[in-house]
Structure formats: structure tokens, C-alpha cells
Amino acid sequence: MGNGFTQNTPAANGYRMPAEWEPHAATWLSWPRREGISFPGAYDEVIPIFVQIVHALRESERVRINVTDVDQEQQVRHLLQEIDSSHVEYLRIPTNEPWCRDHGPIFIKREADPTLAVVDWDYNAWGGKYPPFDLDDIVPSRVAEYLGLPVYYPGLVMEGGSIDLNGAGSLLTTTSCLLNPNRNPTKSKGEIEQALRDYLGVTNILWLGEGIEGDDTDGHIDDITRFVRRTTVLTAVEEDPKDPNYEPLQENLALLRTMRAEDGTALEVRTVPMPPWIEREGQRLPASYANFYIGNKVILLPVFCSPKDKRAYEALQNCFPDRRIVPIDCRNLVWGLGAFHCLTQQQPA
């Protein structure tokens, strides 16, 4: 086919993955469990941040929360009793860990009828690092069953945080993650690109290099560079030349300045600073302002009690003048090695 899509795939049938700033029907979350491994010794410090997420999205959209069982649902209802939670729905879809961006459904949309479908990529907890992940792996199909949507199975390991799209044909990703042998060792770069085209409806795949230090995902794009408009990206830069993140982020910045959108337009490249070095128990944490989440009316911005927070806030407000920026302290949350984008998954309207 002339557009590069394989026949009878979602893209050939008119589906595409919308950009995050396009209208949402809901935001999905997977509530953490105390016995989970994501926040060792810090579960009670992290839970208030989940409450803040739900509260901040109230003015913006419905929130659908995956819970293990009736007991966990009652726990979450109790935790949310101080806020208006009339916008919250609970789904009995058990998960191993709370990173819904990576294990959750990728929703694709067809304008013609207009219908949604779900892409259920295989999931192996970032290259088999954190077993068990059997519950997380089947979340997309469970969600599709609940919503009555068709499901496509590409048969490839892929996480939502490893890709960022402009909704019009361009996709950003990193070689360090997508080409890592711990994901799809038998697949070539060309085969992986073809799957992205076929299942997400993209035509223009833009490859950056390495991610940031402390990121256990092997370099997810959502910690470094994000589309904020069709032809505009916001990318993280480290300002201290002695920091290990300085060189990789400079290399990515240089690459971005050579890149073009799907119609040949040169990308407008805006920058946001990296927050200060954050360490816990001798481990560098992947703190990044780039891990923001775009809701219908609000942007959830991770902040770190630093003078740089204000610059990140202003950078986001300039990119999204019509949305309210909600800064939330993520110094405890990032102990789980992720922030708001990692925890959320948008369901297009």
C-alpha cells in the first residue's frame, strides 16, 4: 500500500493514536498496592499524591481507577473521602504495579464512524526487571472488554512511556529503549517501525538516543522529550556540564534540531531545565519536568521543591496557555522511578 501500512491493520482500517492534548473521555489510573514493589517503604508518603492527581483532574475529566478487588475499592473510596470524587469510576481490574502508562491500553481512534479500539502490546516490566507482571500484561484486554471495544494484538513488547505522538503522523522514541534486546530481540528496527506504523497510524518515526540516568525503563521518551503541538517539542536539557545527563540530552537536542514533522515542517524545539540531582538510598532518581500529563483542562506538572520549578511551570504555561498548570511535589513519588505521565493513560473522547 502506498501509505506504508500493512493491509488489515488498524492504520489500514483508518485508525490512529490521537495526541495527548486532543479531547479525552477519561484518564485511567491503576491504584498502587501496599505490598507492591514500586515504592519500597514509602507507600504512605506516596498515596496523598495519588489523591492530588484525582482531585486535580476533577475539573477536567472522568477518572477510571483499576483496583484489585472490593477491599481495595473501599480503601480508595476512604482515601478520596476528603475530596469530591463524583468523577471517579472503579474497575475491578487487578494490577501488579501502578504504572498505567506502560501496562494500560493504548487507545486508537477512527474518525469515520467515530470509534475507539485498543492496542494490547505485550508487556514484560521493562525487559523482565520486575516480575511478576502477569496481571499488568492483560490490563488492556480487560479494559477493552469493559468498554466493549475491539482489541488488536501486535505481538511486540512495548510500553506507552516509550513513545510520544503528535496525532498527525509523527512519533518520537529512543533507540536505547525500543531497540533494547530485552524487549524484542528477534525484531529489526525496520520491523519495529512497521509495527508502529500499522498499529498507531504514524508515518514519520523520529529516533532519539539515550534517556536519563536513574531511569530503569532503558530510556523512556516521556522523561526527556514531548510533543506539545503538532510541530513543537519540549525537551529537557541539563545545565551542569559535569552532570551525567548533560551529554546525552545535548545529543538529543542536536538531533531534534535536524528533525521534521510528517509534512516536512522543521520542528520548533523548546527547552525545559532538568531538576536538581535527587538521590535516595544512594540511588539517582529519574526526576524530570518532562513527565507531565496533559488533561483536558489541566496539566499535571511534577515539581521538586527547586528554584527551577518556576521555569518549568512557565515553560508549560507557554506551551498550553488555555490549560491550568497544577504543580505537585513529586520528591516522594519519583522514588518509584516515575511521575504523572507514567501513572496515567488517556482515553480519547
Per-residue pLDDT of the chain (349 residues; tens, 9 = 90+): 457 889 889 999 999 999 999 999 999 999 999 999 999 999 999 999 999 999 999 999 999 999 999 999 999 999 999 999 999 999 999 999 999 999 999 999 998 888 999 999 999 999 999 999 999 999 999 999 999 999 999 999 999 999 999 999 999 999 999 999 999 999 999 999 999 999 999 999 999 999 999 999 999 999 999 999 999 999 999 999 999 999 999 999 999 999 999 999 999 999 999 999 999 999 999 999 999 999 999 999 999 999 999 999 999 999 999 999 999 999 999 999 999 999 999 999 9
CA dist 140 and 159 (Å) reads 12
CA dist 96 and 37 (Å) reads 9
CA dist 295 and 27 (Å) reads 8
Told to judge if 342 belongs to the known catalytic residues of this protein, a careful annotator would answer yes
- Residue 111: per-residue pLDDT: 87
Question: Would you say 9 and 119 are in contact if contact means Cβ atoms under 8 Å apart?
Answer: no
Tell which residue, 271, 266, 278, 336, has the closest CA to residue 303: 278
pTM: 0.97
- Residue 2: per-residue pLDDT: 52
Active-site hit among 177, 319, 330, 342: 342
Class of domain 15-348: alpha beta
Question: Would you say 272 and 236 are in contact if contact means Cβ atoms under 8 Å apart?
Answer: yes
- Residue 305: per-residue pLDDT: 97
Q: 3-class SS at 123?
A: coil
* Chain center to CA of 307: 25
